[in-house]
Amino acid sequence: MANQTLVDCHVHLWDPNHFRIPWLDGISLNKAFLPADLHAHAAPHTIQAYVYAEVDVAPHYSLSEVRWVEAQAQHDPRLKGIIANAPLEYGLQVKAYLDELMTASSHVKGIRRLLQGESDTNFCLLPAFVTGVSLLADYGLSFDICIRHAQLPSVIELVRRCPAVKFVLDHIAKPDIAHHVMEPWRTQLQALAALPNVACKISGMVNEADNANWRLEDLRPYVDHVAACFGEDRIMFGGDWPVCTLATTYARWVDTLDELTSAWSASARRKLFIENSTRIYRL
């Protein structure tokens, strides 16, 4: 596919010399990835706008992360939104933190507090966490759900308890694509999508497949099911760069998703690659 124009709803940037990111220790991604690198890696495609997703910095750096990203946005106007980290498990006490976030950057569009690493699959249902998530509606902020597929039942209940909050599911809930496992992910995703305040990023899929040997057809049943569940108005393209580079190039991921959606209408494809991210994240 030649030069696709994109709005990417899920991009990471970082500079390990600027703040501590423990999970990068000892892996190939432990180096700076900056806006200029993103646009170079995306070629021949053109990213007209993108949303930064928090990168799980050490807790003491969370506010400085947002300030650093805001500084990047001043140099790259295509950086239109920030999904910031916040300790929502503090319940009502997180309000002062959210106030500080909104002061730190006008680009903050939502919050992501990672759940995928929690050993308690019901962590997101702790009363204080539910309270923290519910507060986001007062700020006009969405909540990005980053989980593994086994956590879907508890997340479904979280969404039901917070009907005023807009939710965005990251990476289609990380099903076991490498082993071609569909259930219970398939049924549970359908239940989540039945809740009208949830959208879904088609992102991060190649990292859940066989990183070295994945094929387009490995991804097809998952993309088809997400589209069937959420419909053309609640799905968004996400590059998950540079994490995606552990399994693919940015261009190959765009080309793959383009091929997987080639039978869709022009309108549905434009919604996926541009319009839905713009609307849902208020860019």
Predicted confidence (pLDDT) per residue in 35-45, tens digit: 999 999 999 99
**Across residues 79-98, what is the average pLDDT?**
98
Q: What tokens were used for 21?
A: 């990111």
CB 11 within 8 A of CB 242: no
The pLDDT score that the predictor gives to residue 181 is: 98
- Nearest Cα to 204, choosing from 16, 43, 8? 8
Task: With a cut of 70, say whether residue 1 has pLDDT above it.
Answer: no
The pLDDT score that the predictor gives to residue 3 is: 83
The pLDDT score that the predictor gives to residue 4 is: 86
**Across residues 238-257, what is the average pLDDT?**
97
pTM attached to this predicted model: 0.96
CA distance 171 to 187: 17
115 — pLDDT class (breaks 50, 70, 90): very high
The pLDDT score that the predictor gives to residue 208 is: 98
The pLDDT score that the predictor gives to residue 145 is: 98
CA distance 101 to 65: 10
The pLDDT score that the predictor gives to residue 213 is: 96
CA distance 22 to 232: 37
Q: How many CA atoms lie within 13 A of 134 on its CB side?
A: 16
The pLDDT score that the predictor gives to residue 254 is: 97
Q: What tokens were used for 4?
A: 């696709």
CB atoms < 10 A from the CB of 30, how many? 12
CATH topology classification for 5-280: TIM Barrel (3.20.20)
108-112 and 79-84: which strand pairing? Answer: parallel
Helix H segments across 15-166? 35-42, 62-75, 94-104, 127-139, 152-161
- Three-class DSSP category at 204: coil
Task: With a cut of 70, say whether residue 2 has pLDDT above it.
Answer: no
Q: What does the pLDDT look like over 181-237, one tens digit per residue?
A: 999 999 999 999 999 999 999 999 999 999 999 999 999 999 999 999 999 999 999
159 — pLDDT class (breaks 50, 70, 90): very high
Domain borders along the chain are 5-280
